[in-house]
Amino acid sequence: MPISTVKESEVDVLVIGAGPAGLMACNALANAGVDVRIVDKRPSKVMAGQADGIQPRTIEVLQSYGLAQRLLREANQMHVAAFYNPNPETGGIELTDRTADISENDTRYPFEATLHQGAIESIFLDSMRELGVEVSRPTVPVSIQISDDEKHLTNSYPVRVVLRHGDALEGQTDTEIVHAKFVIGADGAHSWVRKAFDIEMEGEQTDYVWGVVDMIPDTDFPDIRNRCAIHSNNGSCMIIPREGDKVRLYIQLGSKDGVDLASGRIAKQLIGPSQLLDVARRSMFPYVINEPKSIDWWTIYQIGQRVASRFSVKDRVFIAGDACHTHSPKAGQGMNASMNDTHNLAWKLAHVIRGWADLSLLRTYELERRTYAQNLINFDKQFARLFSGKPRTYNNRDGVSHEDFIKAFKTFGGFTSGVGICYAESQIINATHQSYAKNLIVGKRLPPQILVRAADFRPFELQDLLPSDARFKVLLFAGDTSQPSQRMRLAMLAAEMGAVNGFLKTYTPGGNIFAAFDIIAISSAKRTVVRHTDVPELFGSHWSKVFIDVEDMKKTQGGDTYANFGINPMGVVVVVRPDGYVGMVAPFDKVRDINQYFAAFTRPSP
């Protein structure tokens, strides 16, 4: 008979589900010093299969947490998308085109990284371990309630979750009642949290049925290490090379293949990996795939394209990742959307929990990420239709032409790379003074740019100066600091920004500006005359905080920052959110507008 004990505990944030969305949330919160716990129903982490594509923007995000180096060491890189289509005479496929896998130029990492989900989870787990946080598993939530009495008090614990730890089959479970300030439900497509609050999934199931096979291939196909879109007269197929020598094949099946006719649902027992490989072989003819030594993992699935009707409950419970959006895996978006959901949410929770921001800040999570998820579904519908369609041939003039496909591929480049995402105007996105930095789009992530440090002429990637440390960043484009008149303007700006009623001091806990903000100055002075000591101390608090807009000493990188960003030469203040998105731009004489920007969601420090 099972032994059962009950304990009670309090935590700032309880994360339910230790997949990519949950782990990103937990790591980011732990990194920000928030009291966080994470539970998962699985007794151990994923070992094979599942999602695997990391888009350029997600690599940037991982880099901002110090995690990209390991990802890049372990992952495969996809630099090329190769397109194969039927040869009109032989009917077999032939190479039509090799293009850049990432068509956007504005990317720091011009490729997609592929690595199995378990390895990506390990990167987070090791980072969390260093921060003292481990996943409790197997642990399942049993009930969840939000107390209406307390929900408006930032420092209350209004969410009551009952957890059952341990494996019931093994006869030992412990029950725990957790009182949390906030709960994140990152518990997958069949989310228990979502169902507990009766949140609907809106959208539909498609007829497209696909099979997936992971293996080490033995083949004469020359593009086996590239992402390939193969349209043949015998079905479509996608190749995704993976870490090591592994390759994933996505294989289009007939709409009835693997579907149980009685229920209309996928039935995995109706098909196996060798049938899937046979279908792949037909579409890849005349190239040969020999029998692989082993199949690492395989599955079949039907594409569902759905978004949750809401992403949060009473500003206290949030759902993220697959729990709130499902779509086809072929554009490689799933894991990226999930991790970016909680990257968006984590800093907002940290600011509210620290007492720096109002609960209202949290509403921007649903605003920003639900819109994104809807766009994702719309994109996915078009892309999946093109991908699953028959190729255009002499006999099938309504089919999908290579030109149609490549056009869509490039049109959606900003979307598939993740760097094109632009959040709409809100209390934290203010584009009023956009014209002062024309190409630094308010709502988009700060693009990569090499700057040179004024004191030692060492080149730095601007994005690396803005780590995900839950602080807002103030980029002070200082103009030409070698000019006395500009230095005078800067001195006046420093006086206004550093004033007791300026945003830096109003919203700064304990009088330490740098607890909530980091400030970086970027001068347009020439290399020969620049002096880091010419920048007012507020903007150059240490010699390492002042940069210049020049090429490095070997003229191989850097320069043209003001031009690339469309910065007004008289100088501009740019506010970058803790997640790396441009929040606001303002000229030197509009400090009061920046003050108002922060006043809209920030609580003055006592």
DSSP 8-state assignment for residue 605: P
Residue 458, classed as helix, strand or coil, is coil
Residue 244, classed as helix, strand or coil, is coil
* In 8-83, alpha helices (H): 20-31, 56-64, 68-74
Task: Give 202's strand partners.
Answer: 307
Residue whose CB is less far from its own copies, 397 or 555: 555
Residue whose CB is less far from its own copies, 77 or 191: 77
CA distances from 346 to 71, 153, 535 (A): 21, 19, 33
Asked if 94 interacts with its own copies (CB under 8 A), we say no
Active site residue 52: yes
Active site residue 329: yes
Q: Which of residues 461-500 bind its own copies (CB under 8 A)?
A: none
- C-alpha 545/C-alpha 530 separation (Å) is 14
Asked if 458 interacts with its own copies (CB under 8 A), we say yes
The C-alpha torsion from 293 through 235 and 56 to 38, rounded to 10°, is -70
Residues 6+ apart with CB under 8 A from 385: none
Q: Rounded to the nearest whole angstrom, what is the least distance from the CB of residue 110 to its own copies in the complex?
A: 5
- C-alpha 209/C-alpha 186 separation (Å) is 26
Residue whose CB is less far from its own copies, 241 or 389: 241
Q: Residues 20, 86, 141, 329: which is the catalytic one?
A: 329
Q: Rounded to the nearest whole angstrom, what is the least distance from the CB of residue 487 to its own copies in the complex?
A: 14
Options 23-31, 394-402, 412-420, 523-531: segment touching its own copies (CB under 8 A): 523-531
Q: Rounded to the nearest whole angstrom, what is the least distance from the CB of residue 412 to its own copies in the complex?
A: 18
Asked if 402 interacts with its own copies (CB under 8 A), we say no
Contact code string over 225-254 relative to its own copies, x by CB under 8 A: xx--------------x---x---------
The site for its own copies, by CB under 8 A, has a size of: 34
Residue whose CB is less far from its own copies, 271 or 548: 548
- Kindly tell me the burial class for residue 7, based on how many C-beta atoms sit within 10 Å of its own C-beta (0-12, 13-18, 19 or more): exposed
Options 252-260, 320-328, 402-410, 552-560: segment touching its own copies (CB under 8 A): 552-560
Q: What's the chain's Rg over C-alpha atoms? A: 26
Residue whose CB is less far from its own copies, 147 or 544: 544
- C-alpha 182/C-alpha 351 separation (Å) is 13
Q: Rounded to the nearest whole angstrom, what is the least distance from the CB of residue 339 to its own copies in the complex?
A: 23
- SS (HEC) of 525-564: CCCCCCCHHHCCCCCCCCHHHEEECCECCCCCCECCHHHH
Q: Pick the binder of its own copies from 42, 98, 151, 489 (CB under 8 A).
A: 98
Q: Rounded to the nearest whole angstrom, what is the least distance from the CB of residue 584 to its own copies in the complex?
A: 30
Q: Residues 137, 225, 242, 316: which is the catalytic one?
A: 242
Asked if 72 interacts with its own copies (CB under 8 A), we say no
Residues 6+ apart with CB under 8 A from 102: 56, 110, 111, 112, 413, 416, 417
Kind and range of the H or E run holding 203: strand 201-215
Options 167-175, 217-225, 391-399, 489-497: segment touching its own copies (CB under 8 A): 217-225
Q: Rounded to the nearest whole angstrom, what is the least distance from the CB of residue 447 to its own copies in the complex?
A: 14
- C-alpha 491/C-alpha 485 separation (Å) is 10
What count of residues does the chain have?
A: 606
Asked if 532 interacts with its own copies (CB under 8 A), we say yes
Q: Pick the binder of its own copies from 35, 41, 42, 100 (CB under 8 A).
A: 100
Contact code string over 571-590 relative to its own copies, x by CB under 8 A: --------------------
Asked if 552 interacts with its own copies (CB under 8 A), we say yes
- C-alpha 68/C-alpha 96 separation (Å) is 33
- C-alpha 473/C-alpha 434 separation (Å) is 17
Q: Residues 40, 52, 214, 579: which is the catalytic one?
A: 52
Tell me the CB-side half-sphere exposure of residue 413, using CA atoms within 13 A. 16
Residues 6+ apart with CB under 8 A from 526: 482, 550
CA distances from 419 to 360, 412, 413, 434, 561 (A): 27, 11, 9, 19, 18
Q: Residues 157, 208, 250, 365: which is the catalytic one?
A: 250
Residue whose CB is less far from its own copies, 112 or 257: 112
Q: Locate 533 and state its tokens.
A: 């000591």
Asked if 220 interacts with its own copies (CB under 8 A), we say yes
Contact code string over 106-145 relative to its own copies, x by CB under 8 A: ----xx----------------------------------
Residue whose CB is less far from its own copies, 170 or 245: 245
Options 22-30, 249-257, 392-400, 529-537: segment touching its own copies (CB under 8 A): 529-537
Q: Pick the binder of its own copies from 27, 63, 76, 427 (CB under 8 A).
A: 76
Q: Which residues bind its own copies (CB under 8 A)?
A: 76-80, 98, 100-102, 105, 110-111, 220, 222, 224-226, 241, 245, 455-459, 527-528, 531-533, 543, 552-554, 556
Instruction: Give the active site residues.
Output: 52, 242, 250, 329
